[in-house]
Structure 1
Amino acid sequence: MSKTRVLIVSQEMQPYTAASEIANIARKLPQYIQENGMEIRVLMPRFGTINERRHRLHEVVRLSGMNIIVDDDDYPLIIKVASLPEARMQVYFLDNEDFFKRKRIFTDADDQPFEDNPDRMVFFCKGVIETVKKFGWAPDVVFCNGWMTSLIPLYLKTAYKNEPLFQNAKVVYSIYNGSPEKTFSDTFMAKASINNLTEDDLSAYQNGKGVTLHHGAINFADALIQGSEQIEDDVKKALSDTDKPVLDYQGEEGFEAPIKEFFETLVTEEVEES
């Protein structure tokens, strides 16, 4: 029997970014599930805070060279890779000078969110899917870790719904407390509307008052994980109201086995249904 393939897409990951709930899960989970019989690919942004020399990043020429369209502009996508020797694990980084060269991750020196965070998110989410297509590697589970990945469930279920590589993939979205969506402007929907998506396709990502990233991802994902112990009340209600599988908060330690089992259950159900 072939190994279950898990695509892990994370906005942060130790040791490349500072410690956080998201970075902690992104570092420990892939190593654990790989050591316990699953096949993985890990993708994240190549933020300018990441020291390429220290972490020995190098470009993967065969994967680079694509252009990603965001708001009618073309942006080159460069793919880099680094290895974590102690984990026997490779991490792929999506890079672009316009979006990721700066020496801060999501906020400026005054701790204000970057105005182009929506553009950076669209670039990253679409870039991830196009990169996996270049891999020619069909995942059984797509694990989206953090708000920056929240458009991937939408794209896989709409714009890329006929892409053979993702036909059988279960999309899992992990929800953490907070996101910069309150700073997103009215132009976000237009930016996110790739491949002729309509305003109706994106309606789950807005509530009449503004952008709601977690709600949109909940609507399109196949299953959800509560990554933070405390989350916003409206998001908590959306999780309790959904009929989709939900894995409750598992704590800062010991979460690896329950998440692996959660993935296995989703894949088993897919096989039984087919």
Structure 2
Amino acid sequence: MKNSISQKFPFFKKPLKVLFVSAEVYPYATVGGLGMVIFSLSRALKKLNIDCRIFMPKYGSIDEKKYKTEMILEGLKVPTDETVEEKKFLICNVKTHFPSEPDVPVYFLENMEYYEKRSNVYGYSDDPIRFLLLTRGILDFLKQFDWIPDVINCTDWHTGSLPNYLKTIYSQDPVLSKIKTLFSIHNLSHQGVFDHHFVSQMDFDDGKSPIASFFSDKLPKQNFMRRGIIFADIVNTVSETYAQEIMTPEYGEKLDDLLKEVRTKVSGILNGLDYTQMNPATDKLIPFNFGISNLKDRVKNKTHLQKEFNLEVSQDTPVLGMVTRLDEQKGIDLLFPILETLVSEFDCQFVVVGGGEAKYRSFLEEISKKFPKKIGCHLMLDFNLSRHIFAGCDILLMPSKFEPCGVTQMEAMRYGAIPVVRKTGGLADTVEDFDPKNNTGNGFVFEKFSSHALFGAIVRALETFKYKKNWQELMKRAMRADFSWEASAKKYLELYNKAVSI
């Protein structure tokens, strides 16, 4: 493996060194899909002989008894750029944890006020200070450390200040100035603690002024998504289609003109799945294991799911499932006019797992009371129950308004659930529309963001379900789809190679 990598990139006499910087990393602290991406991608790169390491905040929720840490540096003085003497520095520690195989070291920036005392990863009014402390702390730590990365892979607005710092304050540093950066956009709609849709001209951040000092009133108004895009050597998103979509006004979140201006350094790489963890043949979280060769055993999971949600048990009744965050992005609004018609006029059932906004919870609670044997709801996140839906439902709905990548559809397909998706972002890159004439495709795709379009796609799926032979073949194609991290990791390696050659 080492020889093959060195032959492809001959100027790397030693393994390429990559540092991931992220607000969340599985299993230490994770809120959404970002944490799992960092976990899985770093390990896939490790298998390609890349010296990967990870840096994140040490939140108070991280259990040091479970994850044994070692002090690397105590009393790190992180500059704040304040002029008042007592505010010039924040004091931090750096600790590390070495997981068991594969060995990807994780470094933690420890600070009592901004991390240790906080029970959540996000959601604080001083989040700009918390994440500025992370990026500045990392750079000042690296100045004293014996391991210097070739590339730092930053993720989303929380770490967008790091490329900015490297190209300004540290541009003349003999060590840090040589580091290249890749800025990964997982969701362009999150750009800070302000609403980027409504910014006055007085508060608008063009991204080129100096980064404000830590305690300045200007800091919360600075857009570190914009700054990450401007100052990073390479920018990538988490699917090829999303990389194109964000250059349009519809999906660009007011950064489309900037992204078009720097389009030569923007690309898209699809997220992957950890096939070791996501394996229906060995998964301990599902009631009954199965594989492509024994799909009859999957039927037992459907029965279990129907009983779990107190629905009528019937193998001939298709079960529609959703595993989702309940918000506008996920297209829940499209269900409002059609869900009652679906369950009352068609022989089908509907189950959903996920937490979120009150208006969606109220809608789902009310309609489940109206159709208790047809609709089942668990309106909070539940990792185990989500896996039951993947293994037991027949059809998975993802009618997203936009979807940078989407992992749920890939997880569902791995477990034999057929996705119904809108043609956007990563959904467009992973789901091929079923063609009954040629018996091809692995799901059902609709384009227009409307209830009628979603309804039509669901009806197509329900009608196809009646033809068991075709449906079984459809399931097998879905389960055979390859979304492993291995292919994605090789594409990231190409981007790192491009960055260091700049």
Report the residue type matching 2:262 in the other structure.
T
Q: Percent identical across equivalent pairs? A: 24
Match of 1:126 among 130, 136, 139: 136
The aligned residue for residue 91 of structure 2 is 76
The aligned residue for residue 86 of structure 1 is 101
Q: How far did 1:78 drift? A: 0.6
Q: Check if 1:238 corresponds to 2:248.
A: no
Greater relative contact order (CA < 8 Å, ≥ 6 in sequence):
1
- Partner-residue secondary structure (3-state), 1:80: strand
The aligned residue for residue 219 of structure 1 is 230
The aligned residue for residue 250 of structure 1 is 270
Indicate conservation of the 8 Å contact 2:181/2:499, yes or no.
no
The aligned residue for residue 470 of structure 2 is none
Counterpart CA distance in 2 for 1:258 and 1:65 is: 38
In structure 2, relative to structure 1, the CA distance for the partners of 1:268 and 1:242 (3 Å cut) is closer
Q: Check if 1:3 corresponds to 2:3.
A: no
Indicate conservation of the 8 Å contact 1:26/1:145, yes or no.
no
The aligned residue for residue 68 of structure 2 is 56
The aligned residue for residue 181 of structure 2 is 171
Indicate conservation of the 8 Å contact 2:135/2:161, yes or no.
yes
The aligned residue for residue 169 of structure 2 is 159
In structure 2, relative to structure 1, the CA distance for the partners of 1:105 and 1:252 (3 Å cut) is farther
Higher-Rg member (1/2): 2
Aligned length: 248
Scaled by the length of structure 1, the TM-score of the pair is 0.79
- Partner-residue secondary structure (3-state), 1:264: helix
- Partner-residue secondary structure (3-state), 2:37: helix
Indicate conservation of the 8 Å contact 1:141/1:263, yes or no.
no
Indicate conservation of the 8 Å contact 2:156/2:225, yes or no.
no
The aligned residue for residue 494 of structure 2 is 264
Counterpart CA distance in 1 for 2:106 and 2:145 is: 13
Q: Check if 1:200 corresponds to 2:209.
A: yes
Q: Check if 1:32 corresponds to 2:35.
A: no
Counterpart CA distance in 2 for 1:269 and 1:68 is: 27
Counterpart CA distance in 1 for 2:499 and 2:106 is: 29
In structure 2, relative to structure 1, the CA distance for the partners of 1:260 and 1:147 (3 Å cut) is farther
- Partner-residue secondary structure (3-state), 2:65: helix
In structure 2, relative to structure 1, the CA distance for the partners of 1:104 and 1:237 (3 Å cut) is farther
Question: After superposition, what is the alpha-carbon deviation per residue over 1:122-152, rounded to whole angstroms, capped at 9, x for unaligned?
Answer: 2111001111222232322110023211100
Q: Check if 1:149 corresponds to 2:159.
A: yes
TM-align CA RMSD: 2.9
Scaled by the length of structure 2, the TM-score of the pair is 0.45
Q: Considering fraction of residues, name the structure with more strand.
A: 1
Report the residue type matching 1:217 in the other structure.
G
Indicate conservation of the 8 Å contact 2:23/2:158, yes or no.
yes
Report the residue type matching 1:5 in the other structure.
K
Q: How far did 1:103 drift? A: 4.0
In structure 2, relative to structure 1, the CA distance for the partners of 1:200 and 1:235 (3 Å cut) is closer
In structure 2, relative to structure 1, the CA distance for the partners of 1:148 and 1:161 (3 Å cut) is same
Report the residue type matching 1:146 in the other structure.
D
In structure 2, relative to structure 1, the CA distance for the partners of 1:181 and 1:164 (3 Å cut) is same
In structure 2, relative to structure 1, the CA distance for the partners of 1:26 and 1:66 (3 Å cut) is same
Task: Structure 2: state its 5+ residue gaps.
Answer: 1-12, 200-206, 213-219, 274-483
Report the residue type matching 1:116 in the other structure.
D
Report the residue type matching 1:86 in the other structure.
E
Counterpart CA distance in 2 for 1:97 and 1:71 is: 20
Q: Check if 1:41 corresponds to 2:53.
A: yes
> After alignment, is 117-126 or 132-141 more displaced?
132-141
Report the residue type matching 2:117 in the other structure.
R
> After alignment, is 242-251 or 230-239 more displaced?
230-239
Question: After superposition, what is the alpha-carbon deviation per residue over 1:148-172, rounded to whole angstroms, capped at 9, x for unaligned?
Answer: 1110000011101112223332210
Counterpart CA distance in 1 for 2:181 and 2:116 is: 29
In structure 2, relative to structure 1, the CA distance for the partners of 1:270 and 1:120 (3 Å cut) is closer
User: Where does structure 1 differ by over 6 angstroms across 4 or more consecutive aligned residues?
Assistant: none
